[in-house]
Amino acid sequence: QFVRRQQVLQLYRRVLRAIREVPAEQDRRYLKDWARGEFERNKGATDEDAIRMMITQGNMQLQELQRTLKLAKS
């Protein structure tokens, strides 16, 4: 359980760092509120399989955001 908590916190930090790279203030605010809401909504989850799936899904969404930002910069 401790390891999962660390993974979730690490994912949250990485998401927030990626959001800082978004150029438009309004988009940054929206994404930050969305991310906070998603993590808050799922903070009571206890099923290990569900948590693992949410972490995987979160990592995929983070990668998509990073890819989009990279494309926007080039």
The pLDDT confidence band at residue 73, using thresholds 50, 70 and 90, is confident
Domain residue ranges of the chain, discontinuous segments joined by +: 2-73
DSSP string, 5-71: HHHHHHHHHHHHHHHHT-S-HHHHHHHHHHHHHHHHHTTT---HHHHHHHHHHHHHHHHHHHHHHHH
Mean pLDDT across the stretch 50-71? 96
pTM: 0.90
Give the per-residue pLDDT at 36: 97
Convert the pLDDT of each residue in 21-56 to its tens digit.
999 999 999 999 999 999 999 999 999 999 999 999
Q: Is the pLDDT of residue 1 over 90?
A: no
Give the per-residue pLDDT at 23: 92
